[in-house]
Amino acid sequence: DFVNAKNYYDTTLTFMTEEDEDYSVLKLRRDNLIEIAQLITEIEMQDSLLKIANMTDAERSSLAKQIKKERQQERIRQINQQLIERAKNSESSDERKKSTFFAYSDKAVKKGAKQFEKTYGNIPLVDNWRVKSEIQSVSNSKNSEVEGESVNNAELDDIFANVPKTEEEKLKSHQIIRRNYEKLGMQYHDLLERYDLSIQVLEDDLLGNYNNPNHLDAIYYYLYSSYNNLKKTSTANKYKELLKDKFPNSKYTEALGGKKKSTNSKIDSYESIYSMFEKGNVSQALKMVKRTIPLLEHDDPLLPKYSLLESMCIGKKEGEEAYIASLNKLVEKHPNSAEAKKAKEIVAIISGASVGIVSDSNTSGEVPSHLKGLPFKVDEKAPHYVIVLMKGKEKNISESKTDISSYNRKNAKDLRLRVSNIYIGTDVKNAIIVIRKFPNQIAAVKYYKRVLENQADFLIGTTNYEVYPISQANYKEILKARGLNSYDKFFDYYY
């Protein structure tokens, strides 16, 4: 039930923050279900409206009475809820404490109850027993009236306002259903990789109920791909032959052995999708990559580039673990490509393997006298930040953050870094820009060394700042101290 699943994810995410371990995974699953849930809901709605349109007058009248009754019951429920809430809020606890009215005193109420029971015995608590039967009779009478109440023409028009009445309106409903079945089948394939559901929707629901749907070439291709992924080769080949026979000039036919696109055209397509990724439209970029990769020959030089772009999209959407898995898959498929080399470097940075940066040997042994008493500790495997201490007035904080974000997009976009700022001490001039976060000390130090080599690009127009990699635990210590607290000495010795 993808509609309810999407709603459950929505609810769960409201109780989480982006820092929670499973947040990115759950958000990705929710995002993948948003359009799927919308398509399913709209299909069910149009299908229900068409069923009502084909009912007899007597069937519609009976349904209208039921809907009217449900609406009345819902209105009564809402009114009762409002009254309950109003009663809860009518008297505050403070007002009760100040009041001299006996019923607001628990002690007085209990005392009165004992005296009543002693005098009159244990009388059941009911509404005024002299008129209880009459009240119940009236209530039953009202309920029976609601159940048998008729619905006038105006109410019928209101209840069934969206029901298609003319053949043209019915055709429009069918077109919506047909279009949504097509999209839904493709979404099951592209986003969820549920090839069984893609086949069910495209083959049974769409082709089984509608003749000559739009984009039949795309439907044949998706059915071919779904059956092929499920290792059902004979059925996959059936749709492959249908595609070649009926749509010889389609781009989907080209993907299965037809004429090739020109190199320039393919490069333009790649750059267009990459631009989409850079602008933050990651879901659409990933969808386009997944659709494009099957269209390329196994020796196409763009294939490793698309694979790396796919990994970057997955990293953005699914997080670190999925990112590493996708990069390793790229290395396995294209071991001799430049993209494989880059993928290895990214994996090394994320996982903390050695990539030519060796931490200082001073991480072991006795703490030197000038560092004794400092709260900082060495933890090479702990997540790290990079902090930038702004010392001059050449640039304001907003401009500096913009420069650093721009630098990160050009030089460290694979790390998915965030930039924020804090002020330490009481002087707003003591600003620290925080770049987070790096998986370990090695990754943070590598970033730090690149910054030193490219200071002109890091903060434009000023060099009046200091940069330090720092573990999360040590970062908390400088916040507690409201200053660096000799962290620069600790950094110089250990890093």
Rounded-to-integer distance, Cα 321 and Cα 338, Å: 22
pTM of the entire predicted model = 0.45
Task: Please tell me whether the peptide bond between 266 and the residue prior to it is cis, using omega within 30 degrees of 0.
Answer: no
**Widest CA span of the chain, in angstroms?**
102
* Residue 410, H or E segment: helix 397-411
Q: How many other CB atoms are found less than 10 A from the CB of residue 441?
A: 24
DSSP code per residue over 119-134: HH------S-TTTHHH
3-state secondary structure 70-104: HHHHHHHHHHHHHHHHHHHHHCCHHHHHHCCCHHH
Rounded-to-integer distance, Cα 409 and Cα 255, Å: 34
Tell me the pLDDT of the chain (495 aa) as tens digits.
788 888 888 888 888 777 676 776 777 778 778 888 899 999 999 999 999 989 998 888 888 888 888 888 888 888 888 877 776 666 544 554 555 655 566 677 677 777 767 676 666 555 544 444 443 443 444 454 444 467 788 888 888 888 898 999 999 999 999 999 998 998 888 777 788 999 999 999 999 988 878 888 889 988 988 898 888 989 988 998 898 888 888 877 776 655 444 445 666 677 788 878 777 788 888 888 888 887 777 777 788 888 888 888 888 888 777 888 888 888 888 887 878 877 776 776 565 443 333 334 444 456 677 777 888 888 888 899 999 988 766 577 778 888 898 899 888 888 888 888 776 644 445 678 999 889 899 889 999 988 887 877 888 877 778 899 999 888 888 877 767 778 888 888 777
Q: At what angle do helices 338-351 and 441-453 cross, to 10 degrees?
A: 120
Beta bridge partners of 470: 385
Helices (H) and strands (E) in the chain, counts: 22, 4
Contact 460, 341 (CB under 8 A): no
Q: At what angle do helices 263-278 and 282-292 cross, to 10 degrees?
A: 150
- What sign for the dihedral angle of Cα 354, 357, 358, 360? negative
Rounded-to-integer distance, Cα 443 and Cα 166, Å: 66
Strand order through the sheet with 465-471: 418-423, 431-438, 384-390, 465-471
Q: How many other CB atoms are found less than 10 A from the CB of residue 46?
A: 21
How buried is 284 (Cβ within 10 angstroms: 0-12 exposed, 13-18 middle, 19+ buried)?
A: middle
Rounded-to-integer distance, Cα 221 and Cα 11, Å: 36
Helix, strand and coil percent figures for the chain, each rounded to 5: 65, 5, 30
Q: How many other CB atoms are found less than 10 A from the CB of residue 125?
A: 6
- The closest of 185, 187, 179, 190 to 202, measured between CA atoms, is 185
